[in-house]
Structure 1
Amino acid sequence: MLIIPAIDLKDGKCVRLKQGRMEDDTVFSDDPVATAQHWVNEGARRLHLVDLNGAFAGTPIHKPVVEAITKAQPELPIQIGGGIRSLETIEHYLDAGVSFVIIGTKAVQEPKFVEQACKQFAGHIIVGIDAKDGLVATDGWANVTDVKAVDLAKRFADAGVSSIVYTDIARDGMMQGVNIEQTVHLAEHCGLPVIASGGVTNLEDVRLLKGHKGILGAITGRAIYEGSLNLREAQILLDQQL
C-alpha cells in the first residue's frame, strides 16, 4: 500500500481546497515542480496530480506544469486527473510521461468512453469516483447525481481499469479523518483495487486503512502540507508486515 501525495493545481500554483470549493483554497506553493521534488525526497513512490481548473473547464489547463513535473521525475509513477474528456488528451499525457490518467466526470456521463480508453491505453486508465453520502458527484463536485458509487465502480470491473480513486468529498480537505466504512465497502464489492482519498489526516487513518483487502493506496494532501501526517513515517508504517 502506498501513501500518495496530492499536488492540486490551480492557476499554476499548488493549492488545497475544502470540499472541492474553488473559492475556498489555500496556496501551499507557487512552484509545483519543486513541490513534487520535495515529496519525492520524503519517500513518495507515486504522485497524484489534479488540474483543478481543468476539472471545471472540462479541458486540461495545466499541461505545461504537468510536463515539467514528469520531465523532472522521469522514473516516478504519476497519475493525473481533471478535465480528461478525450482520447487525445489521454494520449498527450501518456506521451508526456504520465503513468495513469484518471477519468472522472466522463466515466459517469459516458461509460463506454472508459471502455474505449482501456482498449486503446491498456493498463493506464484509472476511474475517479467522487462521492457524497455514497452518491457520485461530477463536474468538479459541482453536481451530485443519483448514481451509487459502488454501482459505478462495478460497471468498470471487467473493462480493464487499473484502479479506482475513491474520494469522499464531504471530508476532502477538512482534516476530519478518512471515511473507512465507505472506502472498505467499495474495495470489498467493486472488484477493482481502490485508492482512498479525502480526509486522510494522520497515522491513525493510515493504520485503519492498512491491511484491508483491495486498498492499493491512500492519497493525502492538506495533512502532509500542514504537518499532521508525516509522509515518510506513514510509508514506513505501511511497509511493515501486518
Structure 2
Amino acid sequence: MTRFRPCIDLHAGQVKQIVGGTLDSSTSELKTNFISPHPPSHFAQLYKDNDLQGAHVIMLGPGNSEAAKESLAAWPGSLQVGGGITDKNAVEWIEAGASKVIITSYLFPDAKFSQERLDSVLAALGGDKSKLVIDLSCRRKSQDSWFVAMNKWQTMTDMEVSQESIKSLEPYCSEFLIHAADNEGLQKGIDEKLVKKLAEWCSIPVTYAGGGRNLEDLETVKRLSGGKVDLTIGSALDCFGGSGVTLAECVEWNRRQEQEEQSKR
C-alpha cells in the first residue's frame, strides 16, 4: 500500500527544504526553498498528532544533532534518523528515541561500497536489521541508470542502483530510502522510471523522495509501483511553505488507502 511519508530535513540546526543538487559546502551555492520559524519538535508533534508513521529526520551536515534529538524526544520510537550515522553512534541514536537509523555515506569510504562497514553497523545494532534503513539516494548517470550519491548528494559512488545491488543489500536492512537528488526540492515531478524500477527490484519497504508536488503524484506512485513504493513530499507541502498540497490532504489520502486495504480483507 503506497503511503505518504513525511520528513524533517535539518540544516544548520533549522528545519529547511533545500534544492538537493545545490547542497554542497559552498553556502553561496545553496538554494533553499523554505526555512521554518518552528523548532524541529513542532513537526514531530504534528506527525504524531496525525499518526504519520515512518517519517525520516535527516541531518544535512554538521550542527544538527541537538535538533534531531529534539525531534526524537517529541515522538520517541517513531521517527527514523539519518545523516552521519556510523557503527560508533548507531546505538546512541536508537537510545535517543529513533525507531531506525538510516545510513548512506558511511557505507562508501572513498566513494566505494564497503561490505565490512555494513556488517559493522548491523553488528553494532545487535544484528537487528529491523533497526536499519539503507539510504540509496542517487543521481542519474544516463537515461536508465542511477548511481548512489553521498556527501550531501555531491559525490557519485561506485554503486549503481539496480536489481543486483538491491538484492545484495536487502538481507541487511528492513527498508530503503531513496532520494532522487536531481529532482529533490524542484517540485517538477517525480522520476517515474526510477519509481517503476524500485517496485520491480525491491521486496522490502521502500520510500522514494524527490519532486513530489501533489496528490496526483501520490496516485502516480501508487499506480506505477502497484502500491509497493511510498512517497515523501517536502517542499510542496503547506507546512513547508509550499502550495501544491496540504498536510491535511496527505493525511486524508493515507486514511483512504488504509480503508481500501481493509475493505479488501
Which of 213, 219, 238 is the aligned partner of 2:257? 238
**Hey, what's the Cα distance between the residues in 1 that align with 2:21 and 2:252?**
27
Counterpart in the other structure of 2:75? 73
Residue pair 1:8, 1:51 contacting (<8 A) in 2 also? yes
Residue aligned with 1:170, SS: coil
Which of 18, 22, 27 is the aligned partner of 2:35? 27
- In the TM superposition, residue 21 of structure 1 has moved relative to its aligned partner by 1.9
**Hey, what's the Cα distance between the residues in 2 that align with 1:237 and 1:222?**
23
Residue pair 2:147, 2:158 contacting (<8 A) in 1 also? yes
**Hey, what's the Cα distance between the residues in 1 that align with 2:153 and 2:196?**
22
- In the TM superposition, residue 102 of structure 1 has moved relative to its aligned partner by 0.7
Scaled by the length of structure 2, the TM-score of the pair is: 0.80
Matched ranges for 1:218-237 at <5 A: 218-224=231-237, 225=240, 226-230=242-246, 231-237=250-256
The structure-2 alpha-carbon separation of the partners of 1:157 and 1:72, relative to structure 1 and needing over 3 Å to count, comes to closer
Write 1 or 2 for the structure with the bigger share of strand.
Answer: 1
Q: Which amino acid aligns with 1:131?
A: C
Matched residue count: 233
Residue pair 1:168, 1:198 contacting (<8 A) in 2 also? yes
Q: Which amino acid aligns with 1:193?
A: P
Counterpart in the other structure of 1:157? 170
Residue pair 2:189, 2:211 contacting (<8 A) in 1 also? yes
Residue pair 2:198, 2:229 contacting (<8 A) in 1 also? no
Q: Which amino acid aligns with 1:183?
A: V
Gaps of 5+ in 2: 24-29, 141-145
1:50 aligns with 2:54: no
Residue pair 1:184, 1:215 contacting (<8 A) in 2 also? no
Kindly name which structure, 1 or 2, has the bigger radius of gyration based on alpha carbons.
2
**Hey, what's the Cα distance between the residues in 2 that align with 1:20 and 1:78?**
25
Q: Which amino acid aligns with 1:118?
A: L
The structure-2 alpha-carbon separation of the partners of 1:124 and 1:168, relative to structure 1 and needing over 3 Å to count, comes to same
Matched ranges for 1:24-173 at <5 A: 24-25=31-32, 26-54=34-62, 61-74=63-76, 77-84=78-85, 86-108=86-108, 109-121=113-125, 122=128, 123-133=130-140, 134-150=146-162, 151-159=164-172, 161-173=173-185
- In the TM superposition, residue 177 of structure 1 has moved relative to its aligned partner by 1.5
Residue pair 2:16, 2:36 contacting (<8 A) in 1 also? yes
Scaled by the length of structure 1, the TM-score of the pair is: 0.86
RMSD, matched Cα: 2.1
